[in-house]
Amino acid sequence: MTIPIFYTISDDFTPYLAVSINSLVKQARPNNDYKVIILHQGLSQAHQQALAAYERANVKIDFRQLDDQLFAPIQNKKGNYLRAEFFTLSIFYRLFIPDLFPEYDKAIYIDADTVINDDLAKLYQTDFANNLIGACHDQSIQYVKPLQVYLKDVLGLNPASYINSGVLVMNCQALRAEGFLDKFLQLLTTYQFNSIAPDQDYLNEICAGRIKLLDPRWDAMPNDFDPEIANPGLVHYNLFYKPWHFTGVKYERFFWASAKETAFYEELKAELANFTDQDREKEKAKMQEMVQAVDLLLADPGNWFHVKQTIKVTL
């Protein structure tokens, strides 16, 4: 059995991806074959070589440079900003995976800011039934009341079923057959929705009602509220809880244990040491910026909630 695992990356995220891939390789079981495919638009040769060094007999690493023209419809507009903060095409790459790789009926997608503590073959065995994707509930926003308002009154979604897009098991065969990519591009170019989490919101909206909620241990996220999951299969340093920027981050021990085994360890330690208190205050302020964006999005007559009163956005 070959298990395809996708990452998407910009060049500056290479050190964190190295930590994730190193942890993936350590958990890979010898009776399975793993194909790690890194989607990018300009990963340096030096960084490709550094990441390729993690190949093993049963873990192959491939790099796919994506064509700029493919993403021409996705413009640098406020509605496409990640967390309402900055624009990066790489967050949208995951949405193209089923159509770019027709040889796969099923695939795993993982964000680069992760550490894997269990064999991903277990995640790959997810039974979709009639679902289009499998993912975990987004635990990082459930205690932030304005973001709950955003989910209910801007997106028109049930917060209890809103998933995080950083870890996905994709039913590629069904997503292709039912025209997921066409639906995404049609909605994107027609409405240009303003969003806090663009790629994630599109996935939640288009796949609503056909998302299999996975065990939360497959997307354990640091926050200030929940106790640690006792046995996290995958840790996702989502939003602003980055152990290379802050100390005392929940689950940070998993990151540094893997980082020590990479060629980027000293670079990552230096990044933490050079990240100032002023930098940290700026990071903390970004959550407030997200919260403040909610009122503007509520007042937008072209938000998801209003558009959904007149058209069908789901597959």
- The third-level CATH classification (topology) of the domain covering 2-307 is Spore Coat Polysaccharide Biosynthesis Protein SpsA; Chain A (3.90.550)
Mean pLDDT across the chain = 92
Which range, of 58-62, 149-153, 191-195, 250-254, averages the lowest pLDDT?
A: 191-195
Are 309 and 104 in contact by the 8 Å Cβ rule? The answer is no
Sign of CA dihedral 269, 270, 274, 275: negative
Q: Which tens digits make up the pLDDT trace of 250-263?
A: 999 999 999 999 99
CA 251 to the chain's CA centroid? 18
pLDDT of 84 higher than 70 = no
Looking at residue 156, its pLDDT comes to: 97
Cα–Cα distances (Å) from 155 to 187, 308, 309, in that order, read 14, 9, 11
Report the C-alpha gap between 162 and 146 in whole angstroms: 15
Phi-psi category of residue 153: left, alpha or beta, with phi > 0 → left and psi -120 to 50 → alpha: alpha
**Could you state, in order of their start, the residue ranges of all structural domains in the chain?**
2-307
